[in-house]
Structure 1
Amino acid sequence: MADSVITLSDVAAAAGVSLSTASKALNGTDRISEATREHVRVTADRLGFRHNALARSFARGRSQTIGVLTHRASNPFTRVVLATAATELGAKEQAILLYDARIDEHDVTESILQLRARRIDGVIVIGTGTSYPTPSLTSRFDVPVIYAFTFTEDPDDVTITAYDNEIGRLALGHLLSKGRRKIAHITAEPRDNAAQRRAAGAQEVLADAGLEWASPVRFGRWREGWGADAAAELLAEVPDVDAIFCGSDQIARGVERVVRASGRDVPGDVALIGVDNWEQLMHDQRVSRHLTTIDVGLEEIGRQVAAQLLEPGTQPGIQYVAPQVVTAETT
């Protein structure tokens, strides 16, 4: 026979308080003593009581549901932010309602209408990266909206995202710490915001060290093939280059393949560093590290987005998550 369901009345009786007091203690409403509140909570835990989420949402005037808009939920970067935010929200007994579509006018209008009809308590908009802006949707909701792993063109939007300038600074600082001085940079197209900011951050550190790029920055695509093509050109032009900062781990894979094929040792002759921590994204933490990379902080973005969405008085503007160097075999 199935176990009987413990009700709020059972908790009140076991705690020796009224039904009203038990409800106030567990819902965090009205003023009751902290001792009574804790006594009721301990009793509820001992009995295995679980709130009726629907009833509690009516009592609080909230749905305990967060709407999530993604551009492409299957994107590896989006998945990490989404999974971490969902886990954090779940721990706070918040459900998520996901709408995955192109964030263009037609698709997003339909998603917004459906979310507004669901009486949500807030909205998270998750991008696929910091290359190009996401349209600002804040004015189309009457609940808090927070943007994750993207940026908008509205300076008042609450945004938590990767710190591309610092990513560039960290990468160059790491290569310099390994004694490298003839450093080159291969990255994505010049109009790409992430590529530009990473290159700018790296340039700052290089200039502070009194150095210049061993060869002009090579802009292309976030692709392994582009990394291979650019590396071949670079080695022909600067045979004694001793380090390459790759704008992404995918670019780095192509670069490494060509560097090794030329007979050079990695990292003995040429040190390599990428960006994205792709090996962990696509595998898991048990996989042995090969490529030195910069972790852009996707999990931390997810954690901060979940925490701040539920907090009153979140400050407008962009908040950057600190990246970290993940040292491995290529430096």
Structure 2
Amino acid sequence: MRPATLKDVAAECGVSVPTASRVLNGGGHVSAETRRRIHEAAERLDFRPNALAQSFALGRSFTVGVLAQKASGNFSTPVITGIIAELSRRDVAVLVYDDEDNVSARPDNLRTLQARRVDGIIVVGDGTDMPFPSISKMFRTPVIHVFGVSESPEDTCFLPDDVQAGRLAAAHLLDQGRTRIAHVTAMRYSRAVRGRLKGFSAELEAAGRPLALAEPLFGDWTIPWGYRAGQELVDRFGAFDAIFCGNDYIALGITRAFERAGIRVPEDVALVGYDNWSKYSGSPDRFLTSIDPKLNELGHLAASALLSQEPSKRPNGINYQSCELVPGMSSGMLPFDELGAVAFRLD
């Protein structure tokens, strides 16, 4: 069966082809009843507008450019996947340009995007520690930043709420009856580290519980750092009964060090990580209790804001998306038999 045409929709409603076209493109001076009949006819006939014809008629390309700092990054990939899913749902094409974590590649990618005359641009970072020079004045179309920060406070940026993440971790461990809670994290200068520590400390303070060990242990985001921190903490065992880890890799390193020292997780020490990495790696592992920054949803949110016709949906400055605590065995939330026969291996 041949696909329905605009002429078929117009004939079904008894209106002219130009009238049907204007209404389906969001315009047209017609009554509410006529507008309703045209839209219902288009849906009934499963009418799909010709994208090329629409782009010429409306002066739009129906294409959005995604400019990625590093498209293959562990955490930028789910953001991009969310963007593409949302744009595809709205019949908008996507062009992805990847800097491949190489600053010198950006000028060429920007020139290509300018030549493409895209309807909007989403800049995807690979973290929030290095702000990007603003590109908004280079384009007449809207620019959105996600999982990365622009140097301009006037640009719209979407980030996970790291302060809320720290609060979630502390509240959960307190609810589990832990009273001496330590924090092992990455670099002091990191925006994410500072945000999570701020929320974590505020929640402990509100509960009247001081931070165990007096101050956090700072290192990097890796399993080896978590292991070294775990070895250091073995000698201080007894001064803490829970740890909020800056990410899941740190938590796994600490777990390895504790296991080899005979310290049990969660019986002796409860752990909470951040990233919910098993979700993005495709692993069924439910060992770690972790804070999920919901990166896929963050991509959906950025794409929706870009396409919105309401300026209030693209507010200037940084906009935070709430995170979610995902329970696992490491904080005592799941018994081992729910994890499967071999749910977690250290080697």
Question: Which TM-score bucket, shorter chain as reference?
Answer: over 0.9
Offset of residue 154 of structure 1: 1.7
Offset of residue 201 of structure 1: 1.9
User: Which of 291, 296, 312 is the matching residue for 1:294?
Assistant: 291
CA RMSD of aligned residues (A): 1.7
- Please give the residue correspondences for 1:1-331 in structure 2 after superposition, counting only pairs within 5 Å: 3-102=1-100, 106-215=104-213, 216-283=215-282, 287=284, 289-311=286-308, 312-313=310-311, 314-331=314-331
Provide the C-alpha distance between the structure 1 equivalents of 2:30 and 2:89, rounded to a whole number of angstroms.
25
Q: Is the contact made by 2:62 and 2:119 (CA closer than 8 Å) also made in structure 1?
A: yes
Report how many residues are paired: 327
Q: Is the contact made by 1:103 and 1:134 (CA closer than 8 Å) also made in structure 2?
A: no
Deviations 1:90-145 (Å, cap 9, x if unpaired)?
A: 12221111101146653211111111111111110011122332332222222111
Provide the C-alpha distance between the structure 1 equivalents of 2:291 and 2:153, rounded to a whole number of angstroms.
27
Task: Return the TM-score normalized by structure 1.
Answer: 0.93
Spell out structure 1 runs of 4+ moving beyond 4 A: 102-105
Offset of residue 45 of structure 1: 2.8
Q: Is the contact made by 1:130 and 1:162 (CA closer than 8 Å) also made in structure 2?
A: no
Provide the C-alpha distance between the structure 1 equivalents of 2:161 and 2:12, rounded to a whole number of angstroms.
52
Q: Is the contact made by 2:80 and 2:299 (CA closer than 8 Å) also made in structure 1?
A: yes
Deviations 1:202-229 (Å, cap 9, x if unpaired)?
A: 1222222333222231111100111011
Higher mean alpha-carbon deviation, 96-105 vs 228-237, is at 96-105
Give the percent of matched residue pairs that are identical in Structure 1 and Structure 2. Answer: 42
Aligned partner of residue 151 in structure 2, secondary structure = coil
Provide the C-alpha distance between the structure 2 equivalents of 1:8 and 1:105, rounded to a whole number of angstroms.
46
Aligned partner of residue 75 in structure 2, secondary structure = helix
Q: Which amino acid aligns with 1:9?
A: K
Unpaired stretches in structure 1, ≥5 consecutive residues: none
Aligned partner of residue 221 in structure 2, secondary structure = coil
Q: Is the contact made by 1:131 and 1:195 (CA closer than 8 Å) also made in structure 2?
A: no
Task: Return the TM-score normalized by structure 2.
Answer: 0.89
Higher mean alpha-carbon deviation, 184-193 vs 203-212, is at 203-212
Higher mean alpha-carbon deviation, 245-254 vs 182-191, is at 182-191
Aligned partner of residue 67 in structure 2, secondary structure = strand
Provide the C-alpha distance between the structure 2 equivalents of 1:130 and 1:201, rounded to a whole number of angstroms.
17
Q: Is the contact made by 1:102 and 1:108 (CA closer than 8 Å) also made in structure 2?
A: no
Q: Is the contact made by 1:124 and 1:145 (CA closer than 8 Å) also made in structure 2?
A: yes
Offset of residue 288 of structure 1: 5.0
Higher mean alpha-carbon deviation, 266-275 vs 189-198, is at 189-198
Deviations 1:169-210 (Å, cap 9, x if unpaired)?
A: 211111111111121111111122211221222122222233
Provide the C-alpha distance between the structure 1 equivalents of 2:268 and 2:232, rounded to a whole number of angstroms.
17
Provide the C-alpha distance between the structure 2 equivalents of 1:197 and 1:91, rounded to a whole number of angstroms.
33
Higher mean alpha-carbon deviation, 59-68 vs 103-112, is at 103-112
